[in-house]
Structure 1
Amino acid sequence: MSIIDDVLKLLDKGYLPYQGQIEGHVYEPLGCGPKRKPRWFWKERKYVCLGCVKRCCLVDPVGFELMLPVTYQTKKLAFASLPAVSARELVTKKAWLTIAEVAFVLSIGRSKVWEMIQEGRLEKHPDSPPARVLTESVRKELERTDVYLS
């Protein structure tokens, strides 16, 4: 089976190309390294690498940056760059975040986000009909809790 067949099979099963950062220690037990040009795909808690013939598969691995899937309808394309956004990208590239995005970045529930808004720890946009939270206030909360994604 070729790499193209493997990619198509993973895409068909709902896997996405993994675009987050991976810590170097992840490769030690696998017997390979980032120099081999790993090509990771992920779905929920499973990660599959198509970088070599081993086709490594990991479940809930430590050392992988958390990713938030972006859901929308799209045509199936063999080499489409399917979107996935990391928590780091959310807090560095957006001025305002949705409640769901804040919950993802802070690893908390939506009700906790609303509670933090009420407490004044997060700053909500005064006029935005779907609620938006100022990203700078989320960054401050990350720094305060020592969880910031450097």
Structure 2
Amino acid sequence: MSTHIAKADAISRHISLLLRRKVFVQPAAAPAKGKLVIFGRYEDGTGKALGTVGADMALAAYAGAALSLVPADVARDCIRVRRLEPALQENFGEILNVLCCGFDAEGGRVKLASMVFPPDAATDDFTGGLHLSLDIDGYGEGLLSLRSAA
């Protein structure tokens, strides 16, 4: 069974619906090593790895804040100190869960298997895959990368 990565507009649409605000998406270059610091790992119903989503601190902070209407200044403070407040971390976990839509296991079930937040370390080799710049209306811009496990 092969894994397909969703198109950029589908990712943007799902996040926009969740956040109840416009999310503008553009293709981005592959992020530099160390740029992505928050990860979600996805698997199918049998436990087979399907892929990984990586986000930079800016996207996690802005999206986490936008989900519960936390002021953008709080997100900017998190970016500055490179650490998410617990509520924003929990919110971004919900966004990672919604990003199951980013993978298609040929009709099979896709689930978020694990999340990695700083200070825990994870691999960030995102050569290949889909790299996006997401600009959340009223908050700010950050990077999101999706990579298939295959």
TM interval, shorter chain, is: under 0.3
Higher relative contact order (CA 8 A, sep 6+): 2
TM-score, normalised by the number of residues in structure 2:
0.24
Higher strand share: 2
